[in-house]
Amino acid sequence: METENQVYRNLQKYLDRMPSGFPAAPSGLDIKLLKHLFTLEEARVALQLSMKPESLQRIYSRVKKSGMDISTGELQKILDEMLRKGTLVPHEDGYSEKHYSSAEFTAGGIYSVQVDRLTREFINDFHKYHEETGKPPKPGAKRLIPLRTVPVEKSIPIPEKNRVSDYDSVRKLIENAPGPLSVANCICRQTSEILGGHCTKTDLMETCIMTGPDHARHYVDMGIGRYITKEEALDILDKVQQAGLIIQPENSHKPEAICCCCGDCCVLLRPFKNHPRPVELFISNYYVEFNADLCNGCGDCIDKCQMEARVMADGIAKLNPDRCIGCGVCVFVCPTGANKLIKKAEETVLPRDKDDFNMQTLANRTGRWNTLKVRAKMLLGMKA
């Protein structure tokens, strides 16, 4: 029988084979994080899950072959507890019975659903882990980030509104989203508060919107979200846009989550602000054009810009295009019309859905041949 540490090490290696990865940390913080989240029994079960959704019976067959002496009823209880803790992903839509799949550690995975149950110890370990294992993107390297920037609705010129792609309109994303919808607290702002900080951009906390029968329901079932109507979702988005937050849905045509981000707390915006050219790291189909002759130097755009792309010089709020990610916040707060939102000549081609995003991410990280092998295993019903 494997030792306890061997089980957790095997789980780390398995999670590292998933699209976003979970590399080992020299200090062993990776294992400590896993022990925060998985009991030894849950870790053993997690090793028998697959990236492809599977039924209880299929998982049980693999669990028995691994040497675990438990009944289907006992396995169901373990899976239910893992579901409650967010350490697996449930699937009901399109299935006659509930299915389960592996959850990634970051990138909208296990860490994100720890909202409302975070501890200072877990947060500190998580941050230290990323300091040890995080690597800056290589110049020219292919990479996808889990979120993309869509412009604030009020920043889009009236004649152009009807020509905006549905996936670049947060209103359309909500209107076209399959129900139900749910909302949860922002884990980034909650993290700041637990560590003794406070967001200087907004007091709004309940700003993370989930869509779709599986994802939205999952947050409610875990006790960290509540159901909302589409009208309530649009009202939340209106408030966050007034506060100057950046709207960032998941990076696909069918996002299951829409985040409302600030430069103070967001785990994506905050570190990317330290990059000399954040424009290279974000996905956006828009940019801002600045007319210095119309600027009255009020500084409203400087106060609202989450990426520190504006600076007051010679009495005008100059724009650094290398830092502008096309969110459009400065456009609608400008009283003189000095800022104008412009659509890029070429639109970014988005992944079809979350599965497509994951496979593209895996290919960029581990190579196309490995991704083909993973796809083949999933098609053949093998563990992936």
pLDDT digit string (tens) for 324-345?
999 999 998 999 999 999 999 8
String of DSSP letters for 145-178:
-SB--B--GGGS-GGGGGGS-GGG-HHHHHHHSP
pLDDT at 230: 96
Which positions ≥6 away from 108 have C-beta within 8 Å?
A: 146, 250, 257
Residue 157 — pLDDT band, cuts 50, 70, 90?
Answer: low
Residue 140 — pLDDT band, cuts 50, 70, 90?
Answer: low
Provide the 3-class DSSP secondary structure of residue 341: strand
> Assign residue 378 a region: left if phi > 0, alpha if psi is -120 to 50, beta otherwise?
alpha
Residue 108 has pLDDT above 80, yes or no: no
pLDDT at 155: 72
Which positions ≥6 away from 374 have C-beta within 8 Å?
A: 51, 359, 362, 384
Domains (ranges, CATH) in the chain? 4-135 (1.10.10.10), 162-271 (no CATH), 278-343 (3.30.70.20)
Average pLDDT over residues 162-172: 76
Percent of the chain with pLDDT over 90: 76
Structure tokens at 147: 């979120």
What is the DSSP code (8-state) at residue 245? P
Percent of the chain with pLDDT over 70: 95
Orientation angle between helical segments 56-65 and 72-85, nearest 10 degrees = 110
Lowest mean pLDDT among 30-44, 117-131, 216-230, 274-288: 274-288
**Alpha helices, DSSP H, located in 261-299:** 269-272
Best mean pLDDT range from 161-165, 231-235, 275-279: 231-235
Tell me the C-alpha distance between 126 and 138, whole Å: 23
**Cα atoms found within 13 Å of the Cα of residue 137, Cβ hemisphere only:** 19
Residue 95 has pLDDT above 90, yes or no: no
Residue 159 has pLDDT above 80, yes or no: no
Residue 310 has pLDDT above 90, yes or no: yes
pTM of this prediction exceeds 0.95? no
Which residue has 């090793």 as its token pair?
47
DSSP E strand stretches across 171-231: 181-185, 206-211, 225-228
Residue 274 — pLDDT band, cuts 50, 70, 90?
Answer: confident
Residue 142 has pLDDT above 60, yes or no: no
Average pLDDT over residues 11-36: 96
pLDDT at 179: 84
Q: Are 321 and 312 in contact (CB under 8 A)?
A: no
Beta bridge partners of 319: 310
Structure tokens at 298: 């009020």
Residue 137 has pLDDT above 70, yes or no: no
pLDDT digit string (tens) for 292-302?
999 999 999 99
What is the Cα 231 distance to its own chain's centre?
Answer: 23
Cis peptide upstream of residue 139 (ω within 30 degrees of 0): no
